Structures are given as C-alpha cells and as structure tokens.
Chain A
C-alpha cells in the first residue's frame, strides 16, 4: 500500500461536483458494438481518483462514479478512456502499456481517449504525480475485467468451463481442444457492458510483458512532422482571433475606457464586462492593433516589490496557521543543549515561472447555447466548472477538450484563457482563438510560491542528530518532513500573504524544503567532520532512501578526488510523493569571474516498479535540467504590481550550454507498487549543487536561485 499522499494546499480546490454524464446506453452509439467495462467507484474500492467514493445513485443507466472505462470494438481496437491529460509526461504511452499488458493485446491496438469532458469520466486533474499510482492500476482493473468477460463469452460459445481458457495475444485459447477465437470476433455483434468487480486482482509487476519496457512516445511521427495539433494550432471554420486588454498592474481597476478608435477598425469587436476588456479581430495582428488603440485609465494600488519580498513574507503570517506538515516531537531546546555543533540558518526561495513553451491558450466555439472549449489544461473538469461559474451555464452545456499539450509543469491548473476565449467568442458569434503572449504568460499566470525557511539543528561529535527545527513561510508544506532520525523536532509550515498570484509547480515546495534541509544537513555533517554520504547512511532509517544515495554515489564515484582548482562535489536527496531520489553533482567555479558551471550530475531514482524506463529516464533527466534553472538563475522580479522581467531575454531558463553531463540510475523495485515520477526527481539537484559549490570554494549559498549573477567572491566583489 502506498503511503497516503498529502496534496499541496495549492492543488486543493473546491470538491468536485461534476460526474460523468454520458449515459451507458449512449456509449455503444458512440463507439459501435463490442465489449465495454466500466470502473465504478464504491466505498470499498476507493477507486475514484477524486477520493469521493460515495454518492452513488441507483440509476443503473447513469453510473455517476465511473473513473475509467474501456471498449473493445469489432475491429479489435481497444479504446481506453481517462480524464487524465497528456502534457509531455507521456502517459498516453505508459497508460496504453498498462492496458495492453493487462488485456494481453499488442501495444499498437490500444488507443487512449483523454481529457475530454464529454467523453471521458470525471477526473480531478493531472497533477501530484498520481497518474501512475492511481490511474494505471484502475485501467488495469478495467482491462482485467474485460479479459474475464471475453473468456466467459468464449466459454459460452464453445460450451466449456471458463477455468481452463487462456486469454493471450488478443485471443482466447482452449488448450484442451486447441480452439482459438480473437477478441475482435468475440466482440462482434455484442453490446456487452460490465461493471468492474470490487476487487479484481491485477498482474503483478514481475509478470508484466508490455509494461516495464521502453516504448517510444506514441504518435511520434506526428510531432516530428508538425502534424500534431496543439490547442494553439486549431483552426475551426470561421475562426477569428482574440486578445485581452491587461491592466497596467496587478489588481488595477478600470476607471474609463474609450473604444472609439478600436471599434472603427474593420472586423474588430470590443467586449467590456466589468474590468474585463477584450477584442476580436480577423487576425492576430489586427487584434493586437485594436488592443493598442484602446484608451484605458486604470486606478492602481501600491504593492510590495521583489527587494522586500522575504521580509514581507515573514511579517505577513496569516492567522490560523496551517497545521498540515506541522509536527513536534520531544524538545528542540533540550536537543540543542546536547549538541556539539549547532546550526541556525535562513534559506530563501524566489518566485519562479513555469514558462511552458506552449503558452496558455484556448479556442472557444458557441453553438445552441452551449460552448466547446479546446484548451491546454491539467484540469479539464475544473475548467468546465470555471466556465459554468463564469457563464451561469449548466455543465451539460459545456465541453472542455484538451489536445495533447505543450507542457504545463503544474502551471496549467486554471482556465483563465478558456474563460477569456469563451467570453470573446460569445460576443463575436464566431469561434475565437486566444493565445497568451510570452509576456502575458510571465505576468498573468501564477508562480511557484516564494518562501523563507528558518532552520535550527544540532549534532553530536559522533554525528548523531539531536535537534531539528524547520519553519517554512509561504513556499509550502510538501517535502517538509525530515527523513533522518532526530529525537527532538519541530517542523511547521506557515501560511502568509503572497504579493504575487501563486500556485502549483512541479515538485512545488519540496524543492525549497529539500534545498534547505539537505544543505543544512551537509553543513552539520561538515561541522562534525563526517563525509556527507557516510552521515546520511548512518542517520537515514528508510532503506529505500539509503539505496538511492548509495546508487547515485556509486555511479558518481563518491568520494571523488579533486583534480582542478574550483572543482567541488555535493549531494542531496529525499522522499516525496512516494518516490526516492538522490543527486550527486560536480561543479566548476571560477573564483575570478564568479562563473559557476555544472559539470556532471548523477541522479538515482526509485519509484517502485518501473512502467516505462525510457519515459522514466526522460522524467528524471528532464526534472534535473529544469531544476537546474531554479537552482542557479531563475527568479521573477517585480515592482509595485508589475513583473519587470517578463521575457526570455531577462528571465534565464536552462539552455543547451547549461546542461551538464547527466546520468540517471533507475532502481526498479518490482515488489513495490509504482509511484509517479513527474515531480520528485527535481528536488535533489539544488542542494547537490549548493553543497558542491561549498566544497569547491567554501561558500555557503542559501538562496534560490543561488547564482543569478555569478558567484560573489573576494576576487570579483
């Protein structure tokens, strides 16, 4: 059993009220005859991803708690449905692997229908690294039930008992007589539907045949030929283009608006609805010109700026502190009094932006009083709810479709672009496409929360931790616990006011919390004169975490001998979302110029049984490269309600020259259920780099990003 996963507060939203609406009788109309299995959540199976198992209605035709389903057609094509979305994490591939594996069909015969509120079952969203631990087993159970159903059909056909029949290679075989019949044949002419039995067993990882293997991204050819259509590429008939007039600063109120010049432009329509102002026009350029022609006056309010960010967070703790992540054991003061070496330090983390390469975008089309919106979001059903609220429409009148999306990293939980496009389209009487500019992306989306982390710790001369106190202000509670043995602890997350709009991000606060903890641990180990690896192996009780540290260190060649001036080695790691990670890094620091180069990174990761080693490698290496940006140079700068670096030219993300030699060591634990891997591999790199910089030049950096302008040393100060 997986440990319960605590959702980040930023990922928590109002409880879902939507349920699947397509009646079962409509199902075969949509897909044709065949065999269908529905995964119905009950209190006992707890299968619903939303966690809301109850409220099952007695209307057999309209099960409201279906979480996934599957159809086998007369052509043998297997179609599996899930409300999860594909945003580059390649679950379209890995989920299809799990279905093919369980159903015993070729991988190529499975197609996934994902993230469409009219076709797929309700799903809370694609976040929190939950697809692999929750949706993959659900689809497996559905596939398994379908296989049983096909065996029963074959048994009926042949008038034999089911017990000896074998389902393999998309057919059922009777070993006694040698007879076989394909799934396609069994599905022909049938309208067979079945609800999933409560506790159908699924294939254990050691017996997987399709899952567990490296399979390349499905539809790869569409992506290398430009044929795949992201939201931004859709061009329905009659399409026109939308653009929104953004306020001059956050929270500014519209005082006056003169639309005369804009409305005189050919093909331009202006919409004003409260403080929302937008235009539609016949081209992107015309829409931009129309926006520029609007004369608006805004009333602004004074707001905090970057330079006062950390004092602001410390001084604006909200009442009713969030108790989640809060934990007190023993007495920190007693523990500190037993310590030979003590540490008291403050760590900070700036706001950073997701900057998905495909900006937030939507295409909206109204028809018969309802609206269809195509948009890249991690929460299609959440966006449907936003649209329902915005337009006072029943959900039956709204359809949200998520084309495979140009990445998200936790940044696409909301439906801003969807609501804006729908508002403009309602006025225009045409389908409208709205694509946020990069500057809008950097300004009007939300950010990974900034934070301040205060740490106190104590260690005995022989390297035993005696005390640990850890306070995170604002950045979040994920990964806040300490995976080392410490008898006296106080660990707490403090909610504060935030100067900027903030939300989810890959790994969220776990990055900052691991940075602070693993750097402080490194500092304490150094104070006691103990090698950082030896210290960890001595004080970490969880063997899985020790395993990844050993695996990373071994591959890295820890402890490494220095061969050059400015060379340094460091490590960091931890446990988050049921995944185990350890990263070792080598840096090269040039004291004269202050330049810091990451030379080499090894990250070991263990998330139970590996579903697709190639996809997992992508996630691990990709997370490390992404994490390198936040570790070294990414930071949002803001001044009185404005973002002052809303461009790639001023906001540095990792590029090819920043990417070190990087290796992933993937520990495959077939005896442990698979956990997700999209987030956790990001948390080890920042502390590994920070500790390596210390090893290189003896300077402790306690801010993220660490070297936005290079390392300040005596030589270059």
Chain B
C-alpha cells in the first residue's frame, strides 16, 4: 500500500465519523462530509455527483452555478455548505418531473436558447427563480433578472425569448429576428454594377417587407 492509499483510507474514516449532517437537494436527503466552508457548488458536483450545476468563475460573477435555495436564486460557488443546512435546494436536475420537462426547460428547447449550453443550467435556474417571483415579467424585468448570468456565445436574445415563452406560453417572438433571403442569381459577375444595385435593392427591400 502506498503512502497515498493510506492517507486516502485515513480521511475516509474521519469523514464517515463526521457524516451526521445532511442536505436536502431536489427533495432528496444527502449525507455530506465536506467542511462547512466548502462551496455548495463543489458539494453538489463532487460529493453528491450532481454535475448539472457548473463552475464558471467561482466569484459569483457569471451565474453558471446558480441553484434555487428556498425559492431564491443563489450562486452556489459563494454559498458555503454551512448555509445550506436546513434549507431546500433545487438544482437543474430537480426540475424534470416524471419525465416531463419544467416549462422553462421546454421553453429553452423551443427557443433554441443555447449554443455551447454551458451557461444553460444557470440561465434556467435564474429564470425559474425569476418566474416564481414574477410570473409575468416585462422584457426589462427579464433582462434585469438575468443580468448576473454570462453567456459567451451570444444566445441572449433567444434566452429572453425562452423566458417569455415560459412566462406566457406565448408564441415564439424574437427580438433577434433573422430573415433568410434566397438569392438565385448566377450571372452576377456579368451584370452591370448600376443595374445590379437597383435590382438588389429592390429584391432585398421586397423580401424584408415580406418578412416584416
């Protein structure tokens, strides 16, 4: 047995003795042995194995680690384990019920509100907390409610769409619209510049009017 293995066994025993404490996550009680000052994020991810909650900065700046504690969105990276005892914690894994997605989860899929999706757990948890407090938020309130969550891929407009959809069950309506303009012109290179400009302008104008 190596030095390392001896240490490993030693700490495990010590941990077992100290394991009287439990935390309540997604309605289930988990025994925990981490030090009370351990960030809840690491307890969730490494001790309990719920890795849906993400590390993004460890500084409460990015919101990737957002969980809901007693109905309030909290940054689990800045929440010590000691503060989680006796409270009800909901993580991204706790939203799905009997195979049915939470309306916010379903809305994120409907709005295609992610690219790499690493921020998605935190975005969804922040949105869930926002909607529980304010079931019918204005666009400004959605933006303010998500201001603490960073998305680096630039899915913001679709995330706002998703929250709108979840709030109202409304039709997908986008602040970030896109128009696809089919351009079927194969003789571009031979066309006179002036003609091309007016033709293009008319074509583009026509299409955008049609789209609006």
Contact = CB atoms under 8 A, between A and B. Distances in A.
Interface in B174-202: 175-186, 188-189, 191, 193, 196-197, 200-201
B18 interface: no
A223 B160 CA distance: 17
Interface residues of A, number: 87
Given A267-B11, A656-B143, A407 B152 contact: yes
B154 interface: yes
B178 A665 contact: yes
Contacts of B119: 357
Given A221-B101, A407-B116, A543-B196, A666 B109 contact: no
B70 interface: no
Interface in A415-435: 428-430, 435
Given A285-B35, A618-B112, A656-B146, A429 B180 contact: no
A618 B181 CA distance: 16
Interface string B100-141: 010001101100101111111100100000000000000000
Contacts, number: 256
B68 to A, nearest CB: 13
A649 B58 CA distance: 12
Nearest to A222: B117
A285 B35 CA distance: 9
B205 interface: yes
Interface stretch (A66-74, A545-553, A699-707): A545-553
A669 interface: yes
B46 A223 contact: no
A106 interface: no
A407 B115 contact: yes
A232 interface: yes
Contacts of A148: none
A283 B34 contact: yes
A225 B95 contact: yes
A438 to B, nearest CB: 4
Interface in A256-301: 266-269, 282-285
Contacts of A428: 4
Contact of A543 (B59, B106, B155, B188): B188
B208 A409 contact: no
B53 interface: yes
Contacts of B117: 88, 217, 223-224, 228, 406
A358 interface: yes
Contact of A671 (B47, B50, B109, B184): B184
Given A438-B56, A662-B176, A671-B184, A226 B114 contact: no
Nearest to A238: B8
Contacts of B56: 357-359, 438
Contacts of B160: 656
Given A407-B118, A656-B146, A656-B147, A622 B153 contact: yes
A554 interface: yes
Given A224-B105, A555-B179, A357 B118 contact: yes
Interface of B: 2, 4, 7-8, 10-11, 14, 34-35, 38-39, 42, 45-47, 49-59, 61-62, 64, 91-93, 95-96, 101, 105-106, 108-109, 112, 114-121, 124, 142-144, 146-147, 149-160, 175-186, 188-189, 191, 193, 196-197, 200-201, 204-205, 208
10 contacts: A223-B120, A283-B42, A285-B34, A357-B152, A550-B200, A551-B181, A617-B178, A622-B115, A649-B61, A671-B184
In the complex, the 5 A-B pairs of residues with the closest C-beta atoms, listed nearest first: A226-B52, A88-B116, A406-B118, A622-B154, A625-B154
